[in-house]
Structure 1
Amino acid sequence: MFNDPGLRQRVRGALLAAVRGLALCGLSIGASLALFILSVGSIALTAVGVGVFTTPLVTNLVRMHANQRRVFARDWAGITVPTPYRPLPHAPRKGVGGAVEQCSHLLRDPATWRDLIWLLVDATGGFVCALFPPALIAYGIQGYVLFLGVWRAVQHEYWYAFIPVEGFTTALLCACLGTALIMLALSVHPYFIRCHFLIVKGMISPSRGAQLEQRVERLYETRHDAVDSSAAELRRIERDLHDGAQARLVSMGMKLSTIESLIEKDPAQAKKLIGQARQNSADALTELRDLVRGIHPPVLAERGLGDAAKALALRMQVPVESDVELPGRFDEPVESAAYFAISEVLTNAAKHAQAERVWLDIHYSETAGGMLRIAITDNGRGGADRNKGSGMAGIERRLGQFDGILAVSSPPGGPTMVTMEIPCELIPRR
């Protein structure tokens, strides 16, 4: 029976759920209840001025506790709980005035009060949901303990669930009931853990109004970033034309004027200048092609994102293994944003990560309205930080224009994995 892989998987799942349930019980009845009492006391003390200084500290602890539960919800149950907190003032004042401003900002944030209510619910309903997995297994094991002879040591009337423990027969019934409870635990334990995190999601997720507010704020920021990026791109194109192709074309025009005056007096020198002019025209054409490729690569316009990404991978100095499965084309802005984001990440892997090999995976999922997923992994030294440098910030701004997200996992020593997701739809085939 224990050779059945499905049964072993269920046993591991039940035991893992029991361990996680114990951890969540400690967090619910310990941390959540303590933070609820501290929060209520600190808010009450704002009337006498003390809470002005303690409320920001306690609120930050509550948010750290809630964010940790969001991480557990994602890792243990696959449930995403968005963060609803309003950003703090960028340049808070110092002293008493700054403390009053920060305390007022936190108390005006609806998420602060949602967290406070969740702490109380987590200490009651959340605790009960998390308690079932370990309690059910422990109570089932108790039936076996009674069957193994412990019933003889029971001197007074003792009930195991609905069974009065009086002798060997009733102890055998206890073992049967314990078996039934453990078998029940194998089936229902993961659902109790999921129910716990569904309570978390229902209590501390942002409301619809808060989500719309966050979306408007993000669109406002990305619009400004798009305008700034477009202006910077235009300045770059102007600078490249002025310093590159334009300079060569001016030089070629001067040489042609000289050739015109030397064509009869010094044919040999005129012939030499013609060769130089031809080389200048070839260099100018090459620079113009490179400039156009930097604006919108021809292979991207002609073949689409999949073939353009494969061509980009072939040009890298580091070997890149590509796994690209795209059922069709996307809108031109989406393909352009994804292409240049891939280019930036691959360049960073070859330039900074000291990687020996890179893996590029591009797939499209039609669930939830369509999602383009890109994962780039390298075996370099790791330690990449999305908050340092302008490369990752530029990618995040570029993806933000399409409600895309960027995630970076890069522990010291590697490997580094950059994941990008862009909501988009396929272009209907003509």
Structure 2
Amino acid sequence: METRSWVRDGLRAIAGGVYAVGLSVTNVPLLAVSLVALLLTPVPFLGLALLPWVTNLVRMRANLERRLAGRAGIGIARPYHPPPERALPGGWKRFRWIATDPATWRDLAWLIPGALVGFFLGLLAVVIPLYGVEGISLLPLWLYLGIDWYGYGVFWPIANFSEAMLSMPQGVLFLALGLGAAPWLLEVNAQFAKLFLAPTKAAELRLRVAQLTVTRADTVDAQAAELRRIERDLHDGAQARLVSLGMTIGLAEEMIERDPAAARKLLAEAREASGTALLELRNLVRGIHPPVLAERGLDGAVRALVMSLPMPVTVEIDLPARPQTPVESAAYFATAEALANVVRHSGARSAQVAIRYADNLLTIVVSDDGAGGANPARGTGLRGIERRLAAFDGTMKLSSPPGGPTVVTMELPCVLSSPKTLPSSETV
């Protein structure tokens, strides 16, 4: 399995090398067009419209490089200022937005060195394994074609069978070397691009403030919606039953002298109604903060949760201690929502939950063997998970190709407290 993964990663990196070479070729004409746009800036109307248009092309190219870096495991955030309101194309406000953004000039400064490094490293990622393929195929070609002047590389003419035999093991060696080196070469290219295309400290702070502003608004909206839900459940459920209970007891008081049998019947109905109201209140409290979560922690609460699911769920939890109560609650409800999506939409036969804590980060992975194709844009469940986690600076990543499997990875930064719990694993 590891060999397959190594070969698969190598082949993907080789394809990424071809992609990197092709992209790097576009950097030079983009720089030339950008310089022309800068020279024409003083021209009325034309300069104000041309530079933003060319800058958009450069940013599209830089974003493609960020995507390529992401495939190599190097995340590069977009550092651009948000566009101003009512910024018309060709207007001064849009021109100033582009010209005063430091990321604009960092993108331009990256074009030439990025082209050179990307072309060289991408070419190496492709040439080394191809050289190995050439060495492997040389012997059968030599035997089939019978060409005595064919050579492996530049200085290795092949004139007989024994010389041809030596090319095959060396070709295997070069192919293995190329498959192993290609991901590393793309990672080096990504790290170099990150020097230019990643946000500066000031840009990171600005992006962080913008993210917190959005997160705060989403959290306020989610809390308001939750309060409205609790109010609706109380008004339509327990409150209505308690009002009805009071009226029933009042009728029983009036009838207890003249019709004791009917009064006893009303009291029996009141007792049944009180039990129903109590059950509804318990369900409401369980929806706010489950008692099992407070008593047994995240480990016990998740295990109790999966016991009610109509499919086998493998649970692996390794928590040295309990998270803080708000984080623990958010992690529980996010896990519950992810499992609810598995039951409702995936068509899965089994699911897995893995919860681990390391380096001040609580990681929850919910996966299933269903049909895949999950998309946060098509429903509110995954969006709700994102909003719930964002309130604690958490993130959610989704991998759900058509045909499955679906893997939801949730991360919450936190510190642990409370007594230690032993790591455990079982299928429920």
Determine if the TM-score, normalized by the shorter chain, exceeds 0.5.
yes
C-alpha contact 2:399 2:406 (8 A) present in aligned 1: yes
- Structure 1 residues 361-372: aligned runs within 5 Å: 361-367=353-359, 369-372=360-363
Aligned match of 1:155: none
C-alpha contact 2:373 2:400 (8 A) present in aligned 1: yes
Aligned equivalents of 2:417, 2:382: Cα separation in 1: 28
Aligned match of 1:87: 82
- Structure 1 residues 298-337: aligned runs within 5 Å: 298-316=291-309, 318-327=310-319, 328-337=321-330
Aligned match of 1:277: 270
Aligned equivalents of 2:66, 2:13: Cα separation in 1: 17
Amino acid at match of 2:353: D
Aligned equivalents of 1:264, 1:340: Cα separation in 2: 52
Aligned match of 1:376: 367
Aligned match of 1:234: 227
C-alpha contact 1:310 1:322 (8 A) present in aligned 2: no
CA distance 1:189–1:413, change in 2 (3 Å) = closer
- Structure 1 residues 211-290: aligned runs within 5 Å: 211-290=204-283
Residue deviations 1:218-247 (CA, integer Å, cap 9, x gap)? 222222332333233223222222222122
C-alpha contact 2:366 2:409 (8 A) present in aligned 1: yes
CA distance 1:300–1:314, change in 2 (3 Å) = same
Aligned equivalents of 1:389, 1:15: Cα separation in 2: 35
Which structure 1 residue ranges, 5 or more long, are not aligned?
153-158
Residue 104 (structure 2) pairs with residue 112 (structure 1)? yes
Residue deviations 1:339-369 (CA, integer Å, cap 9, x gap)? 2222223333433x252435232221414x3
Aligned equivalents of 2:135, 2:288: Cα separation in 1: 73
Amino acid at match of 1:236: R
Aligned equivalents of 1:379, 1:167: Cα separation in 2: 54
Amino acid at match of 2:248: K
Aligned equivalents of 2:307, 2:96: Cα separation in 1: 56
- SS state of the match for residue 47, structure 1? coil
Greater Cα offset, 106-115 or 51-60? 51-60
2:69 alignment partner, one of 68, 73, 77: 73
Aligned equivalents of 1:378, 1:88: Cα separation in 2: 42
Residue 27 (structure 2) pairs with residue 27 (structure 1)? no
Q: Provide the alpha-carbon RMSD of the alignment.
A: 3.7
* Residue 192 (structure 1) shift: 3.0
Residue 113 (structure 2) pairs with residue 121 (structure 1)? yes
Amino acid at match of 2:122: A
CA distance 1:57–1:375, change in 2 (3 Å) = farther
Aligned equivalents of 2:5, 2:404: Cα separation in 1: 31
C-alpha contact 2:338 2:366 (8 A) present in aligned 1: no
Aligned equivalents of 1:11, 1:255: Cα separation in 2: 75
Amino acid at match of 1:114: R
Amino acid at match of 2:66: R
Aligned match of 2:394: 404
Amino acid at match of 2:225: A
TM-score, length basis structure 1: 0.79
- SS state of the match for residue 231, structure 2? helix
* Residue 190 (structure 1) shift: 4.5
Amino acid at match of 1:330: P
Count matched residues: 400
* Residue 106 (structure 1) shift: 2.8
* Residue 392 (structure 1) shift: 2.8
CA distance 1:103–1:320, change in 2 (3 Å) = farther
Aligned equivalents of 1:32, 1:219: Cα separation in 2: 35
Aligned equivalents of 2:408, 2:10: Cα separation in 1: 33
C-alpha contact 2:394 2:413 (8 A) present in aligned 1: yes
C-alpha contact 2:17 2:123 (8 A) present in aligned 1: yes
2:376 alignment partner, one of 364, 369, 386: 386
- SS state of the match for residue 379, structure 1? coil
Aligned match of 1:50: 46
- Structure 1 residues 158-169: aligned runs within 5 Å: none
C-alpha contact 1:299 1:307 (8 A) present in aligned 2: yes
* Residue 248 (structure 1) shift: 1.3
